[in-house]
Chain A
Amino acid sequence: MSAILEVDGLFKSYGTTEILKDINVSIDKGEFLVLVGPSGCGKSTLLNCIAGLEPISGGSIRIAGQDMTEVSPKDRNIAMVFQSYALYPTMSVARNITFGMQVRGVDKATQAAKLAEVARQLQIEPLLNRRPGQLSGGQRQRVAMGRALVRDPALFLFDEPLSNLDAKLRVEMRTEIKRLHQDLGASMVYVTHDQIEAMTLATKIVVMKGGIIQQIGTPHEIYTRPANTFVADFMGSPAMNLIPARAQPDGTGSMIEIARDGADPLRLHDPRPSGVSGDILLGLRPEDMHEASKRPGEASQAGEVRIEVVEPAGADTFVVARLGGKEVTSRLSADTLARAGETLEFRFDLSKASYFAPETGERLG
């Protein structure tokens, strides 16, 4: 497989503040890379560096095997879709899409053919003579995509393209982008702060914080085996529960002890040979806590917990309790028997649990 994008030891600083530190990531042709992280984590800067819109301070960026350090954005064979769409306000939709070809001196016939093709693909034919100001948010989004598509580039770059849309449209466009990726087989780099977008779109996710890559992996890897508490907390909604606990080796597995309000500590058994011991943070996804009465299993993984809040959310009901002194959320079915103020017996699926060192937040085992 040939790598379409390789970022090696990339550094970026403004004056003395380092924005990006030692970024190493590469994708193969046809991959969908999502850069995700909270605002200010450097993900958009990284995208701008890849596009050549920001000079880099160290390291290298190669696109299709070619070093890009001295190459200007227009010669990188990329296309980019922006958060504000960045449509040229005084040009018609058609000119917005063909402007790049016009600048590059593509002949009129080819321009028209490409425009027609893209307009059909995105179903924006009726809009071609309008100005961006006369379009709705979703329509502008499509035009911005069209402007990128006509380039037929080696690499598509997306900078939070859906964050200005309302919730419903965002889901629709997300599906559309995914379909586009499948149909074109194109390589894409996509920046977002929305972890659901990251999970649904990516073939590979890069989680960033403070200019440092926290974890690179498939959506499944990131979700089930987060590299540290930051990733565990950031990816998934509601977030992974991080419960202070004590672990003791017990046979091949370990015994996990969690403080509980108004009762003896909860003692749960993890049969996996994880080898953890001492003070730890137990990371447990809300869907890995079950209502014991509805899911028979080992008694060694069950225990009663007092319920503080019950939040019905349609298909699921979120139940908030307190364990190890922290709020813990579980995702139960809509017909749960849980009532605020009462206790409920939970069954904990420790085979899916993660363990983290409390001081560093790094994953254990």
Chain B
Amino acid sequence: MTDVPYAPPTQSRALKIALRWGLYLMLTVFALWYLLPLFVMVTTSLKSLEEIRTGSLIALPREVTLEAWRTAWSGACTGIQCEGLRPYFWNSVLLAVPAVLISTILGAMNGYVVAQWRFRGANIIFALMLFGCFIPFQVVLLPMARTLGILNIAGTIPGLIFVHVIYGIGFTTLFFRNYYVTIPAELTKAAKIDGAGFFRIFWSIFLPLSLPIIVVTVIWQFTQIWNDFLFGVSFSQAGTQPITVALNNIVNSTTGVKAYNVDMAAAIIAALPTLLVYVVAGKYFIRGLTAGSVKG
């Protein structure tokens, strides 16, 4: 053995810094790519049509005007009517609020049963309900259209609420079930011995524990229902359409000059509620997304 001191190999400091800069550059480029459409939407919505025709796509507006926003909200034409998005925005609110509440409550009760009150066949029932999350909804469009007609709620907001609740239960049940299985079964047992029944245990013990999963579920359902287009376009009629359908009609309406600034303002209005939810409660939004897929 020769007496050479051990010299660990070292990475050159310059290389390290260069790699680091490269990394940040890449991350920034991607961030710009994701932000570009939002940026273009906002700037376009603030320009006049004249400026849009003459200026560059990504140029900032020379003269900021809110005219397009006003038109999008209360004057743009969705086919024959020209009332803007306002009535449809409220349609979506009237549709989403009850549908979210009902499907969340049902999901909580179902999840509580499946996770904590297992009976023979409960797992099969759960699997069958879960399966409903995975079907392409095209396969139920035709019979649902007829059923809504028979129930006399075709083309109405209650009809759409009904559809969203039916096809939302699978997911809401999954969310609550996955949350409640992590709560030890001994808690239910202890409460049973204390004399509490099914509803008492839910109300006094499980519900107070459920705030995080309620938030996740409400956000998930709200995003799904607000952003839905397929059910909206299939089961609504003039006057009861949700905002996504109205937006599509504005953008594709063939009457008059194409008002790109109005289209963009309308798109932002349609996107605002879910974007707001995302900004305020992003953590729960992501949890819903990953819970729906990783655990599904």
Contact = CB atoms under 8 A, between A and B. Distances in A.
Report A-B touching, CB under 8 Å.
yes
Interface of A: 48, 51, 53, 72-74, 78-80, 82-91, 99-100, 103-104, 147, 159
B190 interface: yes
Contacts of B208: 90
B285 to A, nearest CB: 25
B238 interface: no
Interface string B203-235: 011001100000000000000000000000000
A78 B205 contact: no
Contacts of B3: none
Determine which residue in B187, B189, B205 has the highest number of CB atoms from chain A within 10 A of its CB, and name it.
B189
A103 B191 CA distance: 10
Interface stretch (B58-66, B100-108, B125-133, B194-202): B194-202
A88 B191 contact: yes
B9 interface: no
Determine which residue in A48, A83, A89, A103 has the highest number of CB atoms from chain B within 10 A of its CB, and name it.
A103
A89 B196 CA distance: 16
A88 B193 contact: no
B186 interface: yes
A103 B200 contact: yes
Determine which residue in B192, B194, B205 has the highest number of CB atoms from chain A within 10 A of its CB, and name it.
B194
B184 interface: yes
B189 A51 contact: yes
B193 A51 contact: yes
Contacts of A83: 186
B204 A99 contact: yes
Given A100-B195, A103-B195, A80 B189 contact: yes
Contacts of A104: 195
B198 to A, nearest CB: 12
A258 B287 CA distance: 66
A74 B194 contact: yes
A74 B204 CA distance: 17
Given A83-B186, A104-B195, 4 more contacts: A86-B187, A88-B204, A99-B196, A147-B194
A53 B194 contact: no
Contacts of A73: 189, 192-193
A247 to B, nearest CB: 49
Contacts of A82: 186, 189-190
Contacts of A100: 193-196
A74 to B, nearest CB: 4
17 contacts: A53-B192, A53-B193, A73-B193, A74-B192, A74-B194, A74-B195, A80-B189, A83-B186, A84-B186, A85-B186, A87-B190, A90-B208, A90-B209, A103-B195, A103-B196, A103-B200, A104-B195
Determine which residue in B189, B190, B192, B204 has the highest number of CB atoms from chain A within 10 A of its CB, and name it.
B190
Interface in B275-291: none
Contacts of B196: 74, 99-100, 103
Contact of B190 (A48, A72, A80, A90): A80
Contacts of A88: 187, 190-191, 204-205
B175 to A, nearest CB: 20
A84 B184 contact: yes
Contact of A90 (B192, B193, B205): B205
A333 B87 CA distance: 92
Contacts of B205: 88, 90-91
A84 B192 CA distance: 16
A88 B204 CA distance: 9
A87 B184 CA distance: 10
B209 A53 contact: no
Nearest to A85: B186
B194 A86 contact: no
Determine which residue in A73, A87, A91, A159 has the highest number of CB atoms from chain B within 10 A of its CB, and name it.
A73
Contact of B186 (A78, A86, A89, A103): A86
Contacts of B190: 80, 82, 86-88, 147
B195 A78 contact: no
Determine which residue in A72, A88, A147 has the highest number of CB atoms from chain B within 10 A of its CB, and name it.
A88
Contacts of A72: 192
B189 A53 contact: yes
Contacts of B184: 84, 86
Contacts of B187: 86, 88
B117 to A, nearest CB: 12
Contacts of B209: 89-90
A86 B189 contact: yes
B204 A80 contact: no
A74 B201 CA distance: 13
A75 to B, nearest CB: 8
Contacts of B194: 74, 99-100, 103, 147
Contacts of B192: 53, 72-74
Contact of A79 (B186, B191, B193): B193
A89 B184 CA distance: 11
Contacts of A78: 193
Contacts of A80: 189-190, 193
Nearest to A53: B189
Contacts of B189: 48, 51, 53, 73, 80, 82, 86
Nearest to B189: A53
B120 to A, nearest CB: 9
